[in-house]
Amino acid sequence: MIIVEFLGRVLLSALFLIEGLGKISMQEDVVMYMEDYGVPGMLFMPAIILEILFPLFLIVGYKTKWAASIMALFTFAVAIIFHTNFSEGMQMIFFLKDLAIAGGFMIVVAYGPGKISLDYYFDSKKE
């Protein structure tokens, strides 16, 4: 079960790491897409940092519940902002996918990172 908790965090994080890193090389296109939905382009860099930094925190299990909370809120916001035009074919699927991912992050918030984590290591050193 210990490895399952770790793999769950890695799999939840992988999507955001890959997307965040990929968006760096497509900044102009991503900013235009964001602005098409009313999101200010100046939020590009904070979004990239969020999509890279917090998944890394989740993978190593550092400040895990905090990082998972931020990622759940971010994923829910992305679903609401970008994927609610259900008349467009795949938007319902993207919306539900984002809600499912947010749910996965909420499970991490509820149960914590498990034993394969820096949080567990640091907590065990306090005792």
Average pLDDT on 24-43 reads 97
3-class SS at 86? coil
Position 125 scores a pLDDT of 87
User: Amino acid identity of 2?
Assistant: I
Model confidence pLDDT, tens digit, residues 40-70: 999 999 999 999 999 999 999 999 999 999 9
Separation between Cα atoms, residue 96 and residue 64, nearest integer Å: 24
* Tokens of residue 109, six digits: 């918030």
- The per-residue b/e assignment along 3-39, b for 16 or more CB within 10 angstroms, e otherwise, is eebbebbeebbeebbeebeebeeeeeebbeebeeeeb
For the record, the structure tokens of 55 come out as: 């998944």
pLDDT at position 127 over 70: no
CB-based burial label for 64 (10 Å; 0-12, 13-18, 19+): buried
Could you tell me the two tokens for 114?
A: 């498990």
Helix 91-111 to helix 64-82 angle, to the nearest 10 degrees? 160
pTM: 0.93
Percent of the chain with pLDDT over 70: 99
